[in-house]
Structure 1
Amino acid sequence: MTRSWKAGAIALALSATAAQAQQAAPVPAAVPTPAVPGYTMPSTQMWDMTAPNGAIYRIFVSYPGKDIAPPPGGFPVLYVLDGNAMFAGFAEARRIQEGTDIGKSIVVGVGYPGDAAYDIRRLDDLTGGPPPPPWEALGKSPYGHWERFLDFLTGPLRTEIGKRFPVNPARQALFGHSLGGLFAAHALLTRPGAFHAIVAASPSLFWQEQEMLKEERDFAAGLASGKIAKVARIMVVAGERDETALERWDPQAFAKRIEPLSAYGLRSRFELYPGEVHITVPSRSVTETLRFAFTWP
């Protein structure tokens, strides 16, 4: 999260420096180049969708070829948050495995209009409260509406995907990284039956630590008492070189705390990726996420 924003600031500064240098140097005559079409990923669709509150989301979908029949009950679905940044990797990994159960599935990236990998709107969609220190300055942007976004994911968007593709409503999975991982953990703890599998990659649990801990306690009590009858399985992954100590410690601690809940039906798993930093964890997790989401059970 923080690394990508820093990288963006550095890139912006380098662009400004390069522009100044070009202004100072003689400008060579432009050489015409033939127009080259951009690459279009096979077996994909993209459209913009308006949520009930008027927010517009860019939806990316990767789906099996026409010669692949859906399994009994329909294709399983994986919803990938921060779709502008994450969708392509998941989509191509799915497509090249269409000869297996992993490839006989649908990947839905949920992003925002535009070409930027990350949009500031994610702060509003993926959190339930204000930014903690030292990110208070981000509080100038809207934040804290993750319930509204979760309603959109599990309501209008899921309905629209079901209209366009033959999907299995009982096999709907979720992947989120960083703030998306925080959101994924929140989805498990507060709507345990909304997805059948959840992957929280380097979840920024520190963002609203006390609220998350309360949600954990309520979730554990619900499982132990039998009030929660249906619960997703969850995989938590993190990078050995995540930039801040909290981004390394918190996912491990979270995984350890929920592991005993297997006695009440929660299936959980934790993976620490050697050598990976915060921003590279999603790429490392693609194949394992697809297996976790699409291998039955």
Structure 2
Amino acid sequence: MLHALKNLFLINLLLLSTALFAQSQNQPIAFGTSAVLSSSILNENRTINIYIPEEYNENSDTKYPVIYILDGGVEEDFFHLAGIVRFNTQSWINRFPKSIVVGIENTNRRRDFTFAVSNTDFIEKEGFKKSSFPQYGESQKYIDFLEKELQPYLEKNYRVNEQKTIIGESLAGLLATEILLKRPHLFQNYIIISPSLWWGEQALLKNAKTLLNQNLKKPVRVYIGAPSKEEDLKMYQEVETLYKTVKTDKNAAVIFDYMPDETHATVIHQAVYNAFKKWAKK
């Protein structure tokens, strides 16, 4: 009996030790870091999620391109788009250089990603309620934040080079389009997906050629992606018009990518993957 109790005690001790050992081996997977920027331009704090390449070394002189994700929160597009970057920069794939990825958490994207308009009657014509846009029209402040606060922050705290890419889909695609047309010097590469060009009664689209002639002085690469036209033919036609306008500018190298199997909700992941793949072939 005593022998059996000893064996039972030893078995329990072994199981406990195994469990404690297993617990001690559990470690969180580190994929990136978060920083909080106090923005005087936006008059609020903004959370910035940052992925750095696995080879990044504080003692190295290597500088890296930066990829900016407008809908870059951890509950938005940061993880899966940073994963695409990590995949495509592995040495056995090597579609483009190792890059830093910066995801900008949203606080009010309808306010930040739309430009000012004289009235909002068009919102209901597009099938939305005016009340769904209680704040809007502050994209110029947001672009100032990108240019005057966020980009300098990255330049000060990380080893970055001059190559910058911006990714935006839907309203974020509208903002990326506005930057391309009004301040194209801020980025060298634009990934614009299913942009909400309906905002302001297509004002950006109507003025695109004039704005490009005024502002685009250096070469840029532009990827424009569109989901199924069967889901939203008007959106597709607007995006196609944007492509046809941008490609006429001598400083813009443009790719148009129609993805009939994708919807507005699903297109961003496939589009970003396609953009990097297609650019690698150029």
TM class by smaller structure: 0.7 to 0.9
Partner SS state of residue 94, structure 1: helix
Partner SS state of residue 154, structure 2: helix
1:78-117 alpha-carbon deviations (Å, 9 max, x no partner): 10011121111111222233323636111111113xxxxx
The alpha-carbon distance between structure 1 residues 236 and 67, as it changes in their structure 2 partners (threshold 3 A), is closer
1:75 maps to what in 2?
A: 64
Residues 200 and 237 in structure 1, CA contact (< 8 A), matched pair in contact too: yes
- Selected match of 2:39 from 17, 34, 51: 51
- Selected match of 1:255 from 226, 243, 249: 243
Residues 241 and 275 in structure 1, CA contact (< 8 A), matched pair in contact too: no
Residues 89 and 286 in structure 1, CA contact (< 8 A), matched pair in contact too: no
What one-letter code is carried by the residue in structure 1 that aligns with 2:65? P
The alpha-carbon distance between structure 1 residues 219 and 72, as it changes in their structure 2 partners (threshold 3 A), is farther
Write the distance in 2 (CA, Å) between the matches of 1:254 and 1:147: 21
Give the TM-score normalised by the residue count of structure 2.
0.77
Q: Is 1:219 aligned to residue 211 of structure 2?
A: yes
Q: Is 1:90 aligned to residue 81 of structure 2?
A: yes
CA RMSD in angstroms, aligned pairs only: 2.9
What one-letter code is carried by the residue in structure 2 that aligns with 1:265? N
The answer to which of 246-255 and 95-104 deviates more is 95-104
For structure 1, list consecutive stretches of 5 or more residues without a partner in the other structure: 1-34, 113-118
Q: What is the total number of aligned residue pairs between the two structures?
A: 246
Sequence identity, in percent? 25
Residues 220 and 251 in structure 2, CA contact (< 8 A), matched pair in contact too: no
Residues 33 and 50 in structure 2, CA contact (< 8 A), matched pair in contact too: yes
For structure 2, list consecutive stretches of 5 or more residues without a partner in the other structure: 1-22
Matches within 5 A, 1:222-241: 222=214, 228-241=216-229
Q: Is 1:62 aligned to residue 62 of structure 2?
A: no
Matches within 5 A, 1:69-148: 74-84=63-73, 85-96=76-87, 97-99=89-91, 100=94, 102=96, 104-112=98-106, 121-129=108-116, 130=120, 132-133=123-124, 134-138=127-131, 140-148=133-141
What one-letter code is carried by the residue in structure 2 that aligns with 1:229? K
The alpha-carbon distance between structure 1 residues 242 and 124, as it changes in their structure 2 partners (threshold 3 A), is farther
The alpha-carbon distance between structure 1 residues 58 and 229, as it changes in their structure 2 partners (threshold 3 A), is same
The alpha-carbon distance between structure 1 residues 272 and 296, as it changes in their structure 2 partners (threshold 3 A), is closer
Residues 190 and 221 in structure 2, CA contact (< 8 A), matched pair in contact too: yes
What one-letter code is carried by the residue in structure 1 that aligns with 2:84? A
Write the distance in 1 (CA, Å) between the matches of 2:60 and 2:244: 35
What one-letter code is carried by the residue in structure 2 that aligns with 1:165? Y
1:275 maps to what in 2?
A: 261
The alpha-carbon distance between structure 1 residues 220 and 140, as it changes in their structure 2 partners (threshold 3 A), is closer
Q: Is 1:203 aligned to residue 190 of structure 2?
A: no
1:184 maps to what in 2?
A: 176
Give the TM-score normalised by the residue count of structure 1.
0.73
**4+ long deviations beyond 3 Å:** 38-43, 66-73, 289-293
Mark the structure with the bigger radius of gyration.
Answer: 2
Partner SS state of residue 225, structure 2: strand
2:3 maps to what in 1?
A: none
Residues 241 and 278 in structure 1, CA contact (< 8 A), matched pair in contact too: no
